[in-house]
Amino acid sequence: MAKKNELPALVASLLVTVAILGAGAWWIKGQVFDANSSGGGREGTEQTASGGANDRGIAGADGSSGLSILPGSVSEAKQTGLDALAAGDYDTAKVEFTTALAADRNDPESLIYLNNAEIGNSEAYTIAVIVPVGSAVNPAQELMRGVAQAQADVNEAGGVGGRPLRVLLIDDNDDVDTASAIATELVSNEDVLGVVGHFSSGTTLAVAEIYEAGGLPMVSPTSTAVKVSEAGDFIFRTVPSDRLAAATLSRYVLNELNENQAAVFYTSESAYSQSVKSEFTTELLSNGGEVVADYDVSEPGFSAGRAVQEAKESGATVLMLALNTATIDTANQIISVNQGDLPMVGGDSLYNPKVLDVGRGNAEGLTVAVPWHILSHTQTPFVAESRRLWGGDVNWRTATAYDAVKVLAAGIAEAPNRSGIAEALASSSTRIDGATDPIRFLPTGDRNQPSQLVTVEPGNRSGSGYDYVPVR
């Protein structure tokens, strides 16, 4: 393969990880995977569908647990569909999930389970999709929309080599221990040919060695930390790395804003946040700028008001918000305190509806580097279909999740086994059509695609009175 293989070291590391997890991992396995148990939120009834997900113990992850992984109430039609799927009554499941989607079309979980119900007992290729429902439900649903649309597109086109694509849908809560237990179980399940996930860079980096040692291809649609580039031959991503995003942002600060002194806000508790901070600092310094102050928002006693005032006193003329989804409320505090005084830029986690809803006028002018934006691709079939399915615009996480599924489908088409998939994705000769652009990987497994800048302006698309729009 094109990437350096460090399998022996990774195997040793995996053994250490397994030893550390110990009984805790076994408990998590029981909560997430085991069939016919009582009291948990994800247990299910064992099924024996030929080629299905449950043949080797990941029960209910294809929707047959009888339970939704999403929080909140479940409609009567959706619950009836889940019960039917658990009982192997696929005809009823199809009718009920179709009814549920007619009442609430913006429910990607129902579409995924409808797609699985349509497969029924037929032979299928299986992939797992890991989403952070427990910690970030909105991003999880954004990811699920892309997965659901891609699965439907693949299967409606005849599947992969005539065989449909079945999706296991699993919530890891973006928690390292939970994700590690899930990864270990997926590696041991021979039916699973690939994984879409994980969400944050920290979780992805923690589990990548498990997938690498087990030879299971993983494609992350959202993890951008530079260190993911070093994770191994079986690790890919459909987003550009933070290095490309930082370069785009630093050029914008220096050449468009004509500013060269920045204050950076980050959290040391996030690998993504530290990566954005480091790469932006390096890029700015390399091109004649300077980071005059940086602030770790996770430090005890952090005050947004005091930090912004100190940044201004230090000579900062622009604020860089290298913050993650978990610290979006802190980002909004900084935005509110700044009141539009200094220009602001940020990483892709700042592309968040809470910034529009809470920041509103104070967020106007905030410029964020993202992998993709819908207004740059309005005439494409992907955008038309996504609007038909979900009744509104989708964001970059939906597009990159769609691409991750299409990547695995393309790899399976080349060679329906784990090592063959990884080799196909690493090959420059494998053509993969993504949501709106061809997908090409660098030798590191990174997507070869630049970031795009969007800025907050008054508008009506989001419903908050403000929208992210491409920088002109």
Three-state secondary structure string covering 207-256: HHHHHHHHCCCEEECCCCCHHHHHCCCCEEECCCCHHHHHHHHHHHHHHH
Q: Are residues 182 and 260 in the same domain?
A: no
Counted domains in the chain: 2
Interatomic CA distance for residues 245 and 201, integer angstroms = 15
Amino acid at 273: S
pLDDT at 282 over 70: yes
Is residue 229 within 8 A of residue 446, CB to CB? The reply is: yes
Residue 65 CB: number of other CB atoms within 10 A? 21
Tokens of 237: 């991503």
Tokens of 260: 């060269």
Backbone angles phi and psi of 173, in degrees to 5: 60, 15
Interatomic CA distance for residues 429 and 185, integer angstroms = 32
Q: Are residues 111 and 156 in the same domain?
A: yes
Q: Are residues 318 and 387 in the same domain?
A: no
Residue for token pair 């390399």: 286
Q: Are residues 398 and 327 in the same domain?
A: no
pLDDT at 349 over 80: yes
Interatomic CA distance for residues 427 and 90, integer angstroms = 38
Q: What is the residue range of 324's domain?
A: 243-370+452-470
What's the mean per-residue pLDDT of the chain? 89
Q: Are residues 315 and 417 in the same domain?
A: no
pLDDT at 46 over 50: no
Tell me the mean pLDDT in the region 435-453.
92
Q: Are residues 187 and 214 in the same domain?
A: yes
pLDDT at 157 over 60: yes
Q: Are residues 254 and 235 in the same domain?
A: no
Q: Are residues 251 and 153 in the same domain?
A: no
H-helix or E-strand spanning residue 267: none
Is residue 452 within 8 A of residue 371, CB to CB? The reply is: yes
pLDDT at 14 over 60: no
Interatomic CA distance for residues 445 and 35, integer angstroms = 35
Interatomic CA distance for residues 70 and 131, integer angstroms = 10
Tell me the mean pLDDT in the region 103-116.
97
Q: Are residues 260 and 154 in the same domain?
A: no
Residue 189 is predicted with a pLDDT of: 96
pLDDT at 310 over 70: yes
- Give the CA diameter of the chain: 67
Is residue 2 very low, low, confident or very high in pLDDT (cuts 50, 70, 90)?
very low
Is residue 1 very low, low, confident or very high in pLDDT (cuts 50, 70, 90)?
low
Asked if residue 434 belongs to a domain, the reply is no
Is residue 386 very low, low, confident or very high in pLDDT (cuts 50, 70, 90)?
very high
Is residue 225 within 8 A of residue 252, CB to CB? The reply is: no
| CATH number, position 349 | 3.40.50.2300
Tell me the mean pLDDT in the region 263-273.
97
Kindly state the DSSP code that residue 265 receives in the 8-state scheme: E
Residue for token pair 């700042």: 350
Of the listed ranges 52-61, 110-119, 262-271, 362-371, the one predicted with least confidence: 52-61
Q: Are residues 308 and 457 in the same domain?
A: yes
